[in-house]
Structure 1
């Protein structure tokens, strides 16, 4: 049996312009969120639409593509892996976030 793999593929629209972070060593990171949607019929037969938001992080050379060509509202397809991290907020509370570490990106709209 093959080992389980951590792979995510999504198609969605950017909720805001990407945030580009430049580190002291000159490396960059891009962060943004994309919305995907789903619909179903409830018990009364009414169509219910729902949006899901996904946090995305891009590192390496792909950041240049994000920085120069990706903007709010644009539809993209991406592939990556799920990551989790935690931090303490200003009040000392532990916070958690799940992000997609993107390694492939395809622009679907202009």
Structure 2
């Protein structure tokens, strides 16, 4: 069975610097308070994922992120069931991201 790669914030940062898309599955109210500051960013709330998942490219690597890594894993499980394969889960979510002092806005 295909599973997603679990990555730490430093690996996620490096990937985003190489142009890998980070998909934030937190809800809109959370994102309006703070969000990942990366050049390739998409906000797609977990609650809208079943209707909008086709907006996420399935032909290249994608990082799925949330607050702590739990909702992103739920999103990954759903995406895997839809045929996605090149997925990475940001371990610790934005909490770990901020702890390691990567940029947020």
Q: Same fold (TM over 0.5)?
A: no
Q: Which structure has the bigger radius of gyration? A: 1
Shorter-normalised TM-score: what interval?
0.3 to 0.5
TM-score, normalised relative to structure 1: 0.31
Of Structure 1 and Structure 2, the greater strand share is in 1
TM-score, normalised relative to structure 2: 0.32
Of Structure 1 and Structure 2, the greater helix share is in 2
